[in-house]
């Protein structure tokens, strides 16, 4: 399709939810475009922890994040040929005659419906104000793409969450040495992983923080200190992995006129995954699901025809909940796409039927 043609659905975000939404759209014989600001599909899985195992992906007892992305990408092409637009950030959404226009840094995209699967938004790593720890310096890592890079190297990991513990366990059998420094003695990680950490060969340093990084062009050493005693240690190093968390930002999406939570981090959707803009849906981590909880009507009671007979009645109180699971994103993507199909074609059935009864597209896919 040419740039000025109108797609049935444009999905914002090529993470797991967006990729599965593309698959669902293919099942509905919809033309699909996916826009993502990253240079590749996968979202957080591809950028933050490609070599971590995912244990809650349906159909897999465990699967590497990068491999799950590859499979989701291939699956997205099963019944259609979605167009991927990488390295593009959507800045604005405007309504036109019977469709929408999405404006990115690379141009304008026309679409009949929109599914926002932007996850937590654009994310940037939290950084320490320590000279020599700037991103881009050789040996400084805020993202880990390949665990084999650390083979036979001396590694310091700074942090105490799941990522810090996972990277320590993932590198300890490859690296020459692995030290993990955490400013506290309690870890914000899965209990089983913390147990494995202390049973491993990782040199765990609770109550230690980073004070200085040595080396002009690349990491050569680091000074860590005990924040209880102020005692210092000098560590000869090749690499420092910072696992201090990330700051997320939805950017221009906040200005599109959609209802959001008070923190402006999540879009409010109803059970059809609709936002307050007709034709615009959301799924996955970007959503705050709204549902109605039935409660007994408080006094004063209602009366029928002015009589003294009280009639039991109900009221509904709005509640909002979030489930940050991949499987939840899959389900929400399916709901969003099927309602988007009916939005375009009101006579269409809501249910797509069984995939086993459909003929896959006759294309050879090479993966991501």
Give which of 244, 268, 238 is closest to 254, Cα–Cα: 268
Indicate the DSSP class of residue 215: -
Decide if pLDDT at 368 tops 60.
no
- Predicted confidence at residue 182, as pLDDT, reads 97
Sequence-distant (6+) residues with CB within 8 A of 308 are none
Distance CA 64, CA 57 (A): 10
Over the stretch 28-59, which tens digit does the pLDDT of each residue have? 999 999 999 888 899 888 877 777 888 889 99
Query: Is residue 42 within 8 Å of residue 356, measured between CB atoms?
Result: no
Give which of 81, 113, 97 is closest to 11, Cα–Cα: 113
Give which of 136, 138, 141 is closest to 218, Cα–Cα: 138
Distance CA 325, CA 14 (A): 16
Among 149-153, 182-186, 244-248, 359-363, name the one with the lowest average pLDDT.
359-363
Decide if pLDDT at 367 tops 50.
no
Strands 32-35 and 83-85, sheet pairing: parallel
- Predicted confidence at residue 46, as pLDDT, reads 84
Give which of 119, 170, 173, 179 is closest to 145, Cα–Cα: 170
Q: What is the pTM of this model?
A: 0.71
- Predicted confidence at residue 366, as pLDDT, reads 37
What's the pLDDT band for 330 if we cut at 50, 70, 90? very high
What's the pLDDT band for 295 if we cut at 50, 70, 90? low
Element (H, E) at 12: strand 6-12
Decide if pLDDT at 365 tops 50.
no
Decide if pLDDT at 239 tops 60.
yes
Distances in whole angstroms, Cα of residue 340 to Cα of each of 16, 17, 189, 365: 19, 15, 38, 26
Sheet strands (E) in 105-173: 107-116, 122-125, 140-141, 154-158
What's the pLDDT band for 364 if we cut at 50, 70, 90? very low
- Counting residues of the chain whose pLDDT is more than 90, the rounded percentage is 61
- Predicted confidence at residue 150, as pLDDT, reads 97
Which one of 130-134, 151-155, 288-292 scores highest in mean pLDDT?
151-155
- Predicted confidence at residue 211, as pLDDT, reads 96
10, two tokens: 């444009």
> What phi, psi does 282 have (nearest 5°)?
-145, 150
Decide if pLDDT at 354 tops 90.
no
pLDDT mean across residues, the chain: 88
- Predicted confidence at residue 313, as pLDDT, reads 61
Q: Which domains does the chain have, with CATH numbers?
A: 6-122+247-357 (3.50.50.60), 127-244 (3.50.50.60)
Is the peptide bond between 297 and the residue preceding it cis, with omega within 30 degrees of 0? Answer: no
How far the first Cα of the chain sits from its last, in Å, is 21
Distance CA 302, CA 298 (A): 10
- Predicted confidence at residue 90, as pLDDT, reads 92
- Predicted confidence at residue 3, as pLDDT, reads 56
Element (H, E) at 335: helix 326-344
Give Dmax over CA atoms of the chain in angstroms: 87
Decide if pLDDT at 81 tops 50.
yes
Place of tokens 């799950």: 68
- Predicted confidence at residue 363, as pLDDT, reads 46
Over the stretch 105-137, which tens digit does the pLDDT of each residue have? 999 999 999 999 998 877 778 888 898 898 889
């Amino acid at each position: 399709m040419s740039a000025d043609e109108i797609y049935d659905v444009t999905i914002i975000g090529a993470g797991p939810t967006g990729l599965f939404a593309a698959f669902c759209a293919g099942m509905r014989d919809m033309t699909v475009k996916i826009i993502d600001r990253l240079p590749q599909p996968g979202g957080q899985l591809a950028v933050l922890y490609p070599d971590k195992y995912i244990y809650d992906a349906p159909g897999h007892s465990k699967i590497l994040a990068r491999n799950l992305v590859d499979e989701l990408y291939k699956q997205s092409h099963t019944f259609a040929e979605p167009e991927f637009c990488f390295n593009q950030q959507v800045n604005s959404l405007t309504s036109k005659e019977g469709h929408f226009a999405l404006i990115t840094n690379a141009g304008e995209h026309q679409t009949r419906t929109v599914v926002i699967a932007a996850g937590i938004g654009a994310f940037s790593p939290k950084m320490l104000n320590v000279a020599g720890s700037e991103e881009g310096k050789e040996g400084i890592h805020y993202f880990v793409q390949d665990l084999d890079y650390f083979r036979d190297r001396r590694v310091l990991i700074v942090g105490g969450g799941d990522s810090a513990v996972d990277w320590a366990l993932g590198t300890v059998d490859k690296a020459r040495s692995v030290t993990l420094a955490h400013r506290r003695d309690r870890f914000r990680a899965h209990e089983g992983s913390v147990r494995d950490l202390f049973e491993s060969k990782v040199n765990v340093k609770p109550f230690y923080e980073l004070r200085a990084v040595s080396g002009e062009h690349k990491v050569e050493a680091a000074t860590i200190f005990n924040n209880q005693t102020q005692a210092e240690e000098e560590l000869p190093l090749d690499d420092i992995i910072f696992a201090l968390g990330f700051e997320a930002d939805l950017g221009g999406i906040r200005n599109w006129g959609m209802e959001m939570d008070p923190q402006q981090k999540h879009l409010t959707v109803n059970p059809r995954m609709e936002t307050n803009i007709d034709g615009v849906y959301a799924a996955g981590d970007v959503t705050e699901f709204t549902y109605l909880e039935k409660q007994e009507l408080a006094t004063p009671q209602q009366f029928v025809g002015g009589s003294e007979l009280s009639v039991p009645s109900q009221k509904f109180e709005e509640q909002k909940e979030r489930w940050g699971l991949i499987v939840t994103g899959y389900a929400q993507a399916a709901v969003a796409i099927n309602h988007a199909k009916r939005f375009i074609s009101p006579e269409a059935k809501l249910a797509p039927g069984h995939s086993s009864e459909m003929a896959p597209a006759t294309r050879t896919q090479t993966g991501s």
